[in-house]
Structure 1
Amino acid sequence: MDWQIIISIAAIVLLLVLSGFFSGSETALTAASRARMHHLGRMGNKRAVRVSRLVEQKENLIGSILLGNNLVNILASSLATSVLIVLVGDAAVAVATIVMTLLVLIFAEVLPKTYAIRNPDGFALAVAPAVDLLVRVLSPAVYAVQFVVRLTLRALGAHRLADNDISVEDELKGTIELHAREGTVRKTAKDMLGSILELDDVDVSEVMMHRRRVVTLNADNPPEQIVADALASNHTRIPLWRGEQEEIVGVLHARDLARELVKNDGDPSKLDIDEIAREPWFVPETTTLREQLNAFRRRHAHFALVIDEYGSLQGIVTLEDILEEIVGDISDEHDPVTAGIKPLPDGTYEIEGSVTIRDLNRRFDWNLPDEEATTIAGLVVYEAQALPDKGQIFRFHGFTFEVLERRRNRINRLRITPPESEE
């Protein structure tokens, strides 16, 4: 074997290494975490800055890597053919095709790409300087190739970019769901992150305390009675009404009440409730949670009264309600211990009708729709297209719903059988 053949074989090996470098770099740079690169760049990592810049110029990056990869692959195949002509004669083309296909597939494609996909961030940081230099050198040739490609696509009528209807929020939700399914993100963290992203999609009417559960006091009652009722309540802020229960004229704060009692030596008869009460704050029921959260922060307030488009009271919303939507239930020593959900031994659940669909979906990873109804009782009424009677059973969305208790026009309790229990 003469020196020319040895040099050619060495050149083939070098070209295969370069081909593996190009293949691995393409995989690593396209799979690298943009968020992590951005963070590292802000921390002063110059290679991360280069990675971010390369990823932003994706067409130039891919074009340069493909150009370099095809050059070394074609050159390696040509050299292999010339070497095998000397060694095996007429069968050189066939042998070179088989040998180079295996070598390129294993050592220049599968191996480097597998390694790169397992460690994309580290690989991308390692190759960033060399790839950046390659892109700069090959830019003129890449621009020429892109010009030809655009002309060809225009001639074929395929030059228009496809519309990307996926928002950033949807992309983040998909990423969170993916990591949760893979086990890298805990369910509690997934629920919290998902709830934060959905603050613009949820109205206060979906998290508020409904008016039938709101404790209110008659402002025309004697001060002694108002003080006694306020102290007997578990709530810090209590709406005051006059004339009709929906005519809210103020909000009584327990701290303000206690301060005035101290000033008057504990004598409630000396209190002027109208002077103590704070101005009520009304917000539309269509206000999103993000808007309401920002409004709470601007006003340094924790409590608002929710009204519909006609000005009728629908309920109350507090800062705690919004925080619970993000972090889950927050209970203190004054909160009721019942959550309205009772698991049964047979895998079914006895649930109060006022429990929200969002709470059930979050707690049990169900997928019940909440577009047409907020509570589970509302969903049953919507799907049944009627007010069900006690004992009626319905099946929709894979779940079985049995009405256990109904009072007047309200469903109080349901038994729900999820699909897995039925199976």
Structure 2
Amino acid sequence: MIEEPDINLWLAGFIVILCLALSAFFSAGETAFTGASKARMLSLENAGDPRARIVNRLLELRERFIGAMLIGNNIVNIGVSAFTTSVLVGIFGTGGVIYATIVMSLLVIVFSEVLPKTLAITSPDRVSLLFARPVSVVVAVLGPLAYLIERLVKLMLRPFGVRLGENDPILSASDELRGQVDLMHKEGGVAKVERDMLGGLLDLRELTVEDVMVHRTKMRTINADLSPEEIVREVLASPYTRLPLWRDKHENIVGVLHAKDLLRALDAVGGDPNKLKVEAIALETWFVPDTTSLGDQLKAFLTRKTHFALVVDEYGEVQGLVTLEDILEEIVGDIRDEHDVAVQGVRPQADGSVNVDGSVPIRDLNRAMDWRLPDEEATTIAGLVIHEARMIPDAGQAFTFHGFRFQVLRKARNRITALKITPLTAQKPRRAGD
């Protein structure tokens, strides 16, 4: 007479443990699959992992998967709670309801929710691969029921104007990727240099050649009316291999002289520059609109197999020049060789401020100091100050915006030539490469 209740208690305990384990499986599976990296799973699938293929297939059926896991979890939790209540009521009477509520609440919350979800979120990819096959079985069994429930919910919400599955994403694919890269950098998974390179790639479609071009006031050009000997000296004194030729006025570009072509021609005439016909050596000028995106310009450079183009505005006036190197620097950072001028125009100070030349591009300053100054309305840091101040400030004037204090150090005519920028936060700016 005593053994039968003992057997029933052991059976009840086994059923409770089994149901709690199933509930933990459903909770961990849902959490792991939701937090799994789609990029890593796609990489594993391409490498031939069959479990990753199952995970990717289930993630494509996201609503069906989540519905099946929730249905399974609720069935198990409700069933074990009802079973435990009936057992404890049989033992303790009506007081068993209270005991069952307390006991099952603690067991379900700790062992079926918090513990498995915590373990799953710490390593979602590994748990997803481990649970791939059993979860696929659950979705295959409970998927049809989940589909019916999903259809029922959509019908119930339709009178209220709620259309499930028809909302456009708030962020574009590039914005989501940029956010992931920034998050991984913040967590230490991606170095600053790698983050900047990935960000530069994503920015190619958003930036135009006007944002990275060398402005016409800084272009190194040669007067085509100079004697061939003088032109040779100009080319040898220049740090650049491609130099625009102008006649009558600087904006009237008649060709582009390549240093190698000049040296070949000079060698062909026995080294006598007076025998050169410079304009015959010069390459045809390639003009591109200032609204051309960097992505399109990069493709055009590769297609034409040239590295140099002049940028014009809507009126056909030359605004500057852009090279393949300018675009590549947006991806890999500043590229310098033995002939480049070493002055960057960004000089961090011991007190946390930074002295900056007015002509420094905002994007270069952001990359060097890891700042987030806006570059939508202006290209250079001087342009940003003028845009925000709505005036051309004088030397000594200071302004505060975007979390920084900008003080004009020097001004030449209507151009701001030097500024002192001080972050208003306690964090000191970082040097390039930190």
Identical positions, percent: 53
Deviation at 1:89, TM superposition (A): 2.0
Give, in whole Å, the separation in 1 of the partners of 2:8 and 2:349.
82
Is residue 11 from structure 1 mapped to residue 15 from structure 2 by the alignment?
yes
Deviations 1:308-361 (A, max 9, x none): 111111111111111111111111111111111122232222211100111111
- Moved beyond 6 Å, runs of 4+: none
Is residue 207 from structure 1 mapped to residue 212 from structure 2 by the alignment?
yes
- Name the counterpart of 1:328: 333
- Calculate the TM-score normalised by the size of structure 1: 0.97
Q: Which amino acid in the other structure matches residue 219 of structure 2?
A: V
Is residue 171 from structure 1 mapped to residue 176 from structure 2 by the alignment?
yes
* Among 289, 293, 299, the residue aligned to 1:288: 293
Q: Is the 8 A contact 2:65 2:143 kept in 1?
A: no
Is residue 393 from structure 1 mapped to residue 402 from structure 2 by the alignment?
no
Give, in whole Å, the separation in 1 of the partners of 2:169 and 2:230.
62
Deviation at 1:165, TM superposition (A): 2.5
- Name the counterpart of 2:133: 129
- Secondary structure at the counterpart of residue 383 of structure 2: helix
Q: Is the 8 A contact 1:32 1:124 kept in 2?
A: yes
- Secondary structure at the counterpart of residue 29 of structure 1: helix
* Among 248, 253, 256, the residue aligned to 1:251: 256
Q: Is the 8 A contact 1:249 1:280 kept in 2?
A: yes
- Calculate the TM-score normalised by the size of structure 2: 0.95
* Among 75, 79, 100, the residue aligned to 1:75: 79
Deviation at 1:421, TM superposition (A): 6.3
Q: What is the Cα-based RMSD across aligned positions, in Å? A: 1.5
- Secondary structure at the counterpart of residue 395 of structure 2: coil
Deviation at 1:244, TM superposition (A): 1.3
Q: Is the 8 A contact 1:223 1:269 kept in 2?
A: yes
- Name the counterpart of 1:113: 117
Q: Is the 8 A contact 1:347 1:421 kept in 2?
A: no
* Among 20, 23, 43, the residue aligned to 2:24: 20
Is residue 365 from structure 1 mapped to residue 364 from structure 2 by the alignment?
no
Deviation at 1:239, TM superposition (A): 0.3
* Among 195, 198, 205, the residue aligned to 1:193: 198
Q: Is the 8 A contact 2:403 2:425 kept in 1?
A: no
- Name the counterpart of 1:85: 89
Pairwise mapping of residues 44-55 of structure 1 onto structure 2 (< 5 A)? 44-55=48-59
- Secondary structure at the counterpart of residue 252 of structure 1: strand
Q: Is the 8 A contact 1:348 1:421 kept in 2?
A: no
Q: 1:120 to 1:329 in 2, by over 3 A?
A: same
Deviations 1:208-232 (A, max 9, x none): 1111111111112111111111111
Q: 1:355 to 1:349 in 2, by over 3 A?
A: same
Q: 1:2 to 1:342 in 2, by over 3 A?
A: closer
Pairwise mapping of residues 225-374 of structure 1 onto structure 2 (< 5 A)? 225-374=230-379
- Name the counterpart of 1:402: 407
- Secondary structure at the counterpart of residue 2 of structure 1: helix
Q: Could you list the runs of 5+ residues in structure 2 that have no partner in the other structure? A: 429-434
Deviation at 1:140, TM superposition (A): 2.5
Deviations 1:109-134 (A, max 9, x none): 11111111011111111111111111
Q: Could you list the runs of 5+ residues in structure 1 that have no partner in the other structure? A: none
Deviations 1:7-43 (A, max 9, x none): 1211111111011001100001111111111111111
Range that drifts further, 407-416 or 309-318: 407-416
* Among 154, 158, 178, the residue aligned to 1:154: 158
- Name the counterpart of 2:421: 416
Q: 1:263 to 1:388 in 2, by over 3 A?
A: same
Deviation at 1:147, TM superposition (A): 2.3
- Secondary structure at the counterpart of residue 421 of structure 2: strand
